[in-house]
Structure formats: structure tokens, C-alpha cells
Amino acid sequence: MKLSRREVLKAAAASSAMMAISGPFSMVREAAADEPDQWVKSVCRFCGTGCGVMVGIKNGKCVTVKGDPNNHNRGFLCLKGALMPPIVYSKERVTRPYIRRNGKLEPASWDEAMGLVEKKFKEALAEGGPTAIGYYGSGQALTEETYLASKIFKAGLGSNNVEGNPRLCMASAVGGYVTTFGKDEPCGSYSDIDAATCIMIIGSNMSECHPVLFKRVASRKQADPNVKIIVIDPRRTNTARIADEHVSFKPGTDLAILNSMAWVIINEELDSPRFHGKYVNFMTNDKKKVDFDAYMKFLEDYTPEKVEKISGVSAAQIRKIAKMFGEASATTSFWCMGLNQRIRGVWANNLVSNLHLLTGHIGKPGATPFSLTGQPNACGGVRDTGGLCHLLPAGRLIKKEAHRNALEKQWGIPKGTINPKPGLHTIALWNAFSEAKVKAMFVLCTNPAHSLPNVNIYTEGMKRKDNFMVLSEPFMDAESVKYCDVLLPAAFWCEKRGTYGCSERRYSLLKKSTEPLGECKPDFEILMDFAKRMGVDSRVIPYENIDDVWNEWRMVSAATPYNFSGMTRERMEKASGILWPCPTEDHPGTKIRYVRGEDPNIPKDYPKKYNFYGKPDGRAVIWFRPYKGAAEEPNEEYPMVLTTGRVIDHWHTGTMTMKVPELRRSFPAAYVEVNIEDAKAKGIQNGDNVLLETKRDKMVFRAKVSDVCRPGLIFVPWYDANLMINKLTLNAIDKGSKQPEFKICAVRISKA
Ligand SMILES: Nc1nc2c(c(=O)[nH]1)N[C@H]1C(S)=C(S)[C@@H](COP(=O)(O)OP(=O)(O)OC[C@H]3O[C@@H](n4cnc5c(=O)[nH]c(N)nc54)[C@H](O)[C@@H]3O)O[C@H]1N2
Ligand SMILES: Nc1nc2c(c(=O)[nH]1)N[C@H]1C(S)=C(S)[C@@H](COP(=O)(O)OP(=O)(O)OC[C@H]3O[C@@H](n4cnc5c(=O)[nH]c(N)nc54)[C@H](O)[C@@H]3O)O[C@H]1N2
Ligand code: SF4
Ligand SMILES: [Mo]
């Protein structure tokens, strides 16, 4: 059906609002307005679902977007993906460079702006050496952009201070996969949803944050009502509303619940000794290899009765969900920030994988532990190509000499070029910038002045005169623009070419479909200009165009289990995404890793069915991870828990979705979700102003009284630049992954 623009927008606004209150089905196939002259294949700019889109072009402008019927989303998009055009042509677009002079951003030429960037970075290097500069990038930058930036800093400028927002997002998932399997990234694919008979969703509000993927889950349930859905979340989200069992619990205690599920599974004989006897090692928290009996002993602290007291979940419900998980013929788990953004984020990730390794629900269609990625290219760019301070491309580590040397050889640069010391992780990097120990920072495709936790510290640091921040950003009203010293006009989405890799290891090519506005440039060009001005060795940046970077990445990945050799640009032009590993041009891509016959990294004559080749003996690890409290538990002064997160119609800091009238109307301002009982006890009515106070700051929000949060818990969405909840959140981090605990801090609320 073809709808007029008005009809589409009307339907959009209505379904969007409906989505927020009632259900997961606000999908559209096409938000068509003007009939385009041409359709160009691309990928949605937003979430890690990675929906394929077709960009409709008329007279050289992007006029509409529809779903790519040949990609995994089968033509469906949520409203964010479908309503892109007004963002591209927003009046807030930055279309020329700016330099801050006497506190005000003033227009400048590219040469002046980049000249100043060069001067400041060279001064910082001269004064403090390579550790005095840094790069802070994004899981929304293209793969090639992140690969290039990381190479410029690590191989060209000697600085491992390369970080990005995935540290706030996926670091615990990386830590979880690497400790459990020895290799990062999920081992299954989206098609596991279609074969699963039990789906456990924990710490993920999939219906709002991965809507098109959630539609696939909901369709699976509709097609077969015997498919069981378990949702483990302290809020009764839209996602929870389709669950057979919604488990609400005291925030942070899910580590105890997951251990308790393991206890039940073993005691009900639902584990698979044939699997774990052959393919699993049991390891204590201090890395001692022990036996199955030791694991059972460890789990004795987590009987359902004991965990009921810790978590507030009845022993009966814990038994019930554990049986659902274990009895199903194929169980798939999904998780996201509810587990990752925690000071025990890595442990929480391990505990989900434990359940799969214990039961053998892995490596079969419908059975996999699947970490959902947030951003469209956190997997692709940052995780795979090594855009963090301790990583090198394809899972190699900076601290390993053999890894550095192998890469130096592939890159054709002298042995010993790469600094053996990892750089500063995100929070340490921004702390150092705030103390002007790091003096020059390149910020690209992220808005840290809004998204960092306990953000007042960092915005104060950005105000200093003795440090320097250059920001590449398409929109004038992004919070970080207020603090940058140089602003560069970034080309946006359809104005550039490159790849995104989504949650399921699927890489898709985004083709350029329009010319950049005004003087905007793709980040690739900006980074190349920067590198040349900084005098980076031409052997480090031997590229004429972005396709050259891709081809180098294919080569660099080839000798590793990532292996992108078969993904030539020609093939990517036609395909609607391919899943790695993909070793040859005729290889179809890989849906299941670690299984002989499925994963091309395992020889056909390998004697066993599974091989967790990330580990020396091919066995994955079941870890003993104890439950421990949050970094800041509620106390007398701050008796409640504050959690933060997302709503369906806004993307992060709102710089993009706030520009779409329909999305903005759907959620115009941040609010605080309060449970009915708590509201009653405090005399708070729906719509009242409520004061929130944490140790760090205070702020007033309108109350939304509902049954979504459990008593004792409040939720604030963090998209609103006028009501930045990150002034109140905590910057405590996971010891292993260095990811902040955005999901839990102590708060006091009162009627304002
Ligand atoms: N619409 C929309 N979609 C997005 C984004 C967006 O900004 N908007 N951003 C993308 C990105 S980058 C990301 S990382 C993902 C995030 O996707 P999600 O992680 O699904 O979203 P959040 O709302 O951050 O948090 C998920 C849930 O964690 C729950 N939670 C809080 N505390 C706990 C706890 O102690 N244990 C458990 N188990 N759960 C807890 C919250 O109640 C919340 O429902 O979304 C991606 N998709
Ligand atoms: N309270 C709270 N805070 C959180 C979280 C939470 O759950 N709660 N979640 C955390 C997570 S998971 C994440 S991923 C981070 C995300 O945090 P951010 O990355 O800071 O948030 P975004 O709004 O996505 O910022 C992306 C910026 O890049 C700009 N941009 C868009 N396209 C381009 C481009 O092509 N080039 C360039 N140069 N710029 C572009 C956008 O306009 C925007 O300003 O936030 C973290 N912060
Ligand atoms: S589900 Fe995610 S990738 Fe798909 S259209 Fe919506 S925002 Fe875009
Ligand atoms: Mo994220």
C-alpha cells in the first residue's frame, strides 16, 4: 500500500504513541512521500539490529526511506529508521568548520580549523608525549573510519589512548565472551529466533531498543504459543508484556538469580553432562581449574530459597524459569545494558553463558547465548577492528608482543612501532583530560558532554583553557558543541560510504547516495587530512579512498578467525549483508560458530563436533561468579534505586531523533517513572514535579506514575539535553571491563 506523506506521518505518530503504551508492533514498511527517482541500498543509522534500508533519492536529495526486503529485517523498519530524511536536512546541520575564539564559536575555513588542530596536537605531543593525546570515537562511526583512526593513533602517533562510547556499552559483553569462549562476538545469529522454543531476555528492553528484532521474537511466539518467553528485568517493560514469566527483582541481584537457575538445572537433572563433560572447564573466580562437584558446591549458596531472600523473587518462580530454560529443546538468550552497565557486568555476562554451557543450549539452531549490541557498528568498527585502548584489529591485544609484531608486519611498518603499553580506558581518559594530563582530544561521532556518567566532572574539564578538544559533529545543538575548541562539519549517513557490522556479525555496505551538505566532509577524509598534517608515515595511511581501507581490513583479518577475505567490495555492493567469518568469495557467511561443518575455522576432519578454539584446549569456561552488591546501594539518605535507559522513539542524546517532529511529539521531554505504591507513600500524583537527588547533583522531573518500575526503583530516560540525568548518575566501573554502572545508583525522591 502506498501512503501519502501525511498519512504515513499520522500513522507513525499514532503507532509510536501506541508502542509506548501497549505493544511492540509499530512497524512500517515504507514512509514514502515523494516518489523517488532512485533507490540506493544502505543500512539504518540507529540500533544494533542493523536493518537494511533503501534510501529514496529525488533530485539528489534523500526524500524517503523504506526497508530492504532482502536483508534480515525483511523490509520492516521501526519509526526511527523510517523517518530519517528530516534529520539529514535539519536547520541545525553544521555546514562549515568553526574555531572557538574568546569563548564563542566563529566560522573558519577548513585550512584554519585543521591548522589549529595540527598545532594543538603537535604541542601536546611535544609537551607530554603520545600519552598526552587521545581519540574518543564511536560505535556509530563506519568500520573503515574506526580502523583508520585507531591505526593513525596507535601506529602513526604512538598513542594507545584510543577509546570510544562502546566502553560505555559493550565492554562487559566483550569481557564476558572473551573470558568464556576466548573470542569476542556472538556465536549464533538472528535466525536462531525462528528455531528457539524458549527465549530468555535479560536486562534488555528489546521491544523498544531492538524493535524489528523483537518483532521476530513476537512473531515466533505468535506462530507457536508453546514457545516460552522469560523476561528478567526489574521494570515491567513492553518487552515483559509478552513474557510467560516476567521476573522482577531487586536491581543488581540477577547474578544470584542466574546462579540459582544453574542450581535448579543441575538438581533437576536438566544439565547435559555429555556436553559439559567434553567441552567445558569449570573455573573458580581466581582462575583455578576445578571439577563439576566443586561447581555444585559453589552453587549451594544459591538455592532458590536463599536467593529469594537476596532478590525478592519467589523460589517457586526461580524454579519455574530454570525448568523452562533447561527443559526446552532449544533456548536462546538475549541481553543488553541491564547486564553490561554494571560493576559486575562481565560476571553477569559469564553467568548467562554458563547456563548455555551447562545445558548444551549452544551451537544448534535456536540455541545460543546472544549479546545484543546497542549501536549500529559497535561490533563492526570498534570491537572487530580494535578501536579500544587495549585492542588491535581482529581480537589481537596490545600487550601481546606476537600480536603487535604480526600486525606491524602486515602493516608494513617497522617492528616495535606499536607502543606495548595499553592506553587509558574511557573513564580514565576523560579523568586525565579533565586534569589536563591528556591535553588534546579528537572526538568523533559521539556526544560525551551528555553521555558520560557523572558528567559534570567531565564538562568542567572540557571548559579548561589548557586542554583542547576537536569535535566532528553534524549538528550544532549537540551538547559537546558547547565545549569543543574546534568544530568540524561531519558528512552524515547517506552522504558517505562504508560498512556497518550489526549484532549478528552481519556486515553491510552503506552506499553514498547524496552529496555532503555545504562544506561537510566524511570522517574518513577528516581523519586522513589530520594524519597527513601530523606527519604520519605514509606507509601507515596508504589509502586513496575508503575502499582501500576495507581491503586492508580484509587482509588483516585473513589470518585470524574473523576472516573477511570473501567480503569483496563488489560482493558487498550486491549483498544485503554477510556474516563473518567468510573466508572465500564463494563462502555464504557463517551462522553458527564453534561447530564443525558450520564454522570455517574448524577443519572438516576435526575429531569433535565443537571446538571453542579461543581457548587452548578447545573448551569453553563455566565461571564461578558470586553475587555481590552494586557500587552504590540504597541507604538511609538515598533510599531508592535510580536506573536510566531508553525509549523507543529517541536515540541516545536526541541530536537526531529530536529533529523528527513525530518522534519529538511522542516523547517531548524526560520524565521519571515512579511505582504507584511509592507515589502514594510520597503523595506524588501523575504529572507532578518530583525532585531527584543523588550524591552528585539534583534535578526536577515530571512524574509518570505506573506499574513499570518495581517499588523502590525509579527510571529516567536519558535522551533529553535539557534534563540531563547523567549529572546524577555514577561513574563507578567494572574492574575488568571498565564499563560504568549506569544502571544502578542510590537516589532520594520528593515532591518538588
Ligand atoms: N530506541 C532506542 N533504541 C536503541 C538505543 C536508543 O538510544 N534508543 N540505543 C542503542 C544502544 S547504543 C544500546 S546500548 C541499546 C540498549 O538497549 P537496552 O539495554 O535494551 O536498553 P536500556 O533501556 O538501556 O536498558 C535495558 C533494561 O535494563 C533494565 N535494568 C536495569 N537494572 C537492571 C538490573 O539490575 N538487571 C537487569 N537484568 N536489568 C536491569 C532496565 O529496566 C531496562 O529495561 O539500545 C540500542 N537501541
Ligand atoms: N544515563 C545513561 N547514559 C548512557 C547510557 C545509559 O544507558 N544511561 N548508555 C551509554 C551507551 S550504551 C552509549 S552507546 C552511549 C552513547 O552516547 P553518545 O555516543 O554520546 O550518544 P549519541 O547521541 O549517539 O552521539 C552520537 C553523536 O554523533 C553525531 N553523529 C551522527 N552521525 C555522525 C557522523 O557520521 N559523524 C560524526 N562525526 N558524528 C555523527 C550525533 O549527532 C551525536 O551527537 O551513551 C552511554 N550513556
Ligand atoms: S530496529 Fe533498529 S536498525 Fe531497525 S529500523 Fe529500528 S532503529 Fe533502525
Ligand atoms: Mo550503547
Q: Is 169 a catalytic residue?
A: yes
From the CA of 444, the nearest ligand is 2
Comparing 7-16, 387-396, 469-478, 593-602, the range with the smallest average pLDDT is 7-16
80, 439, 727, 738: the active-site residue: 80
75, 164, 374, 589: the active-site residue: 374
Model's pTM, two decimal places?
0.96
Question: Percentage of residues in the chain with pLDDT exceeding 70?
Answer: 95
Residue 10 scores a pLDDT above 80: no
In a domain, 583, yes or no: no
Comparing 30-39, 73-82, 191-200, 437-446, the range with the smallest average pLDDT is 30-39
CB atoms near residue 735 (< 10 Å) = 11
| Model pLDDT, residue 455 | 98
Query: 31: domain range?
Result: 5-88
Domain-terminating residue out of 88, 120, 142: 88
Alpha-carbon span 113 to 108, nearest angstrom = 6
Burial class from Cβ neighbours inside 10 Å (0-12, 13-18, 19+) for residue 587 reads: middle
In a domain, 523, yes or no: yes
Give 543-562 pLDDT, tens digit per residue: 999 999 999 999 999 989 99
The bridge status of strand 289-290 relative to strand 280-283 is antiparallel
Give 149-180 pLDDT, tens digit per residue: 999 999 999 999 999 999 999 999 999 999 99
Q: Name the residue at shortest CA distance from atom 11 of ligand 1.
A: 374
Classify each residue of 87-120 as buried b or exposed e, where b means 16 or more C-beta atoms within 10 Å of its C-beta.
bbebeebbebbbbbeeeebeebebeebbebbbeb
Could you tell me how far CA 387 lies from the centroid of its own chain?
13
**44 CA closest ligand 3 atom index:** 8
Strand order in the sheet with 578-579: 498-501, 506-510, 578-579
Q: What total number of domains does the chain contain? A: 4
Task: Name the phi and psi angles at 585, rounded to 5.
Answer: -65, -25
Quick one: 363 and 383 in the same domain? no
211 contact partners, CB below 8 Å, separation of at least 6: 19, 24, 26, 27, 47, 49, 78, 648
Task: Name the phi and psi angles at 621, rounded to 5.
Answer: -120, 130
In a domain, 218, yes or no: yes
In a domain, 453, yes or no: yes
From the CA of 709, the nearest ligand is 1
The rounded Å distance from CA 214 to ligand 4 centre is: 17
Cα dist from 26 to 14, 634, 707, whole Å: 9, 37, 22
From the CA of 213, the nearest ligand is 3
> What does the block give as the cell for 399?
600487550
Residue 1 scores a pLDDT above 60: no
Quick one: 365 and 382 in the same domain? no
Alpha-carbon span 84 to 61, nearest angstrom = 12
198, 200, 336, 337: the active-site residue: 337
Quick one: 114 and 187 in the same domain? no
Cα dist from 183 to 258, 353, 562, whole Å: 22, 13, 10
Alpha-carbon span 33 to 56, nearest angstrom = 10
Quick one: 149 and 212 in the same domain? no
375, 441, 738, 745: the active-site residue: 375
Quick one: 297 and 439 in the same domain? no
Residue 99 scores a pLDDT above 50: yes
Residue type, 725: I
**Region for 683 from its dihedrals, namely left if φ exceeds 0, alpha if ψ lies in -120 to 50, beta otherwise:** left
**336 CA closest ligand 1 atom index:** 19
The pocket around ligand 3, CB under 6 angstroms, is made up of 44, 46-47, 49-51, 73, 77-78, 80-81, 210-212
CB atoms near residue 282 (< 10 Å) = 23
In a domain, 476, yes or no: yes
Residue 5 scores a pLDDT above 70: no
Alpha-carbon span 128 to 161, nearest angstrom = 13
Domain-terminating residue out of 58, 88, 118: 88
Could you tell me how far CA 267 lies from the centroid of its own chain?
36
The chain-wide mean pLDDT, for the chain, equals 95
Quick one: 189 and 330 in the same domain? yes
Domain-terminating residue out of 19, 53, 88: 88
Residue 115 scores a pLDDT above 80: yes
Quick one: 180 and 257 in the same domain? yes
Residue 20 scores a pLDDT above 60: no
Quick one: 66 and 110 in the same domain? no
Contact 355, 295 (CB under 8 A): no
pLDDT category at 34 given cuts 50, 70, 90 is: low
Q: Is 375 a catalytic residue?
A: yes
Quick one: 221 and 84 in the same domain? no
Q: Name the residue at shortest CA distance from atom 13 of ligand 1.
A: 374
pLDDT category at 17 given cuts 50, 70, 90 is: very low
Q: Is 412 a catalytic residue?
A: no
Quick one: 410 and 444 in the same domain? yes
In a domain, 619, yes or no: no
Alpha-carbon span 681 to 694, nearest angstrom = 20
Q: Which of 49, 74, 213, 504 to mutate to test the pocket of ligand 3 (most atoms within 8 A of CB)?
A: 49
The rounded Å distance from CA 337 to ligand 1 centre is: 5
For residue 648, which of 665, 666, 674 has the smallest C-alpha distance? 666
CATH of the domain at 330: 3.40.228.10
In a domain, 657, yes or no: yes
Residue 663 scores a pLDDT above 60: yes
DSSP result, 66-129: EE-TTSTTTT-B-HHHHT-HHHHT-TTB--S-EEEETTEEEE--HHHHHHHHHHHHHHHHHHH-
Contact 490, 364 (CB under 8 A): no
Q: Is 170 a catalytic residue?
A: yes
CB atoms near residue 532 (< 10 Å) = 14
Q: What's the rounded mean pLDDT across residues 109-122? A: 98
| Model pLDDT, residue 394 | 97
> Which residues on neighbouring strands pair with residue 201, listed in sequence order?
231, 334
In a domain, 580, yes or no: no
Grid look-up 553491510 returns 508
Alpha-carbon span 444 to 164, nearest angstrom = 9
Q: Which of 90, 165, 720 to mutate to test the pocket of ligand 2 (most atoms within 8 A of CB)?
A: 165
Q: Name the residue at shortest CA distance from atom 8 of ligand 3.
A: 81
Contact 585, 568 (CB under 8 A): yes
Q: Name the residue at shortest CA distance from atom 3 of ligand 2.
A: 451
The rounded Å distance from CA 651 to ligand 1 centre is: 12
Q: Tell whether omega for the bond before 607 is within 30 degrees of 0, i.e. cis.
A: no
pLDDT category at 35 given cuts 50, 70, 90 is: confident
Residue 624 scores a pLDDT above 80: yes
* DSSP-assigned letter for residue 63: E
The rounded Å distance from CA 340 to ligand 1 centre is: 9
CATH of the domain at 482: 3.40.50.740
CATH of the domain at 55: 2.20.25.90
Burial class from Cβ neighbours inside 10 Å (0-12, 13-18, 19+) for residue 23 reads: middle
Quick one: 146 and 184 in the same domain? no
Q: Which of 42, 45, 77, 87 to mutate to test the pocket of ligand 3 (most atoms within 8 A of CB)?
A: 77
Alpha-carbon span 137 to 688, nearest angstrom = 39
Q: What's the rounded mean pLDDT across residues 376-388? A: 95
CATH of the domain at 696: 2.40.40.20
Quick one: 68 and 115 in the same domain? no
pLDDT category at 27 given cuts 50, 70, 90 is: low
Q: Is the CB of 131 under 6 A from ligand 2?
A: no
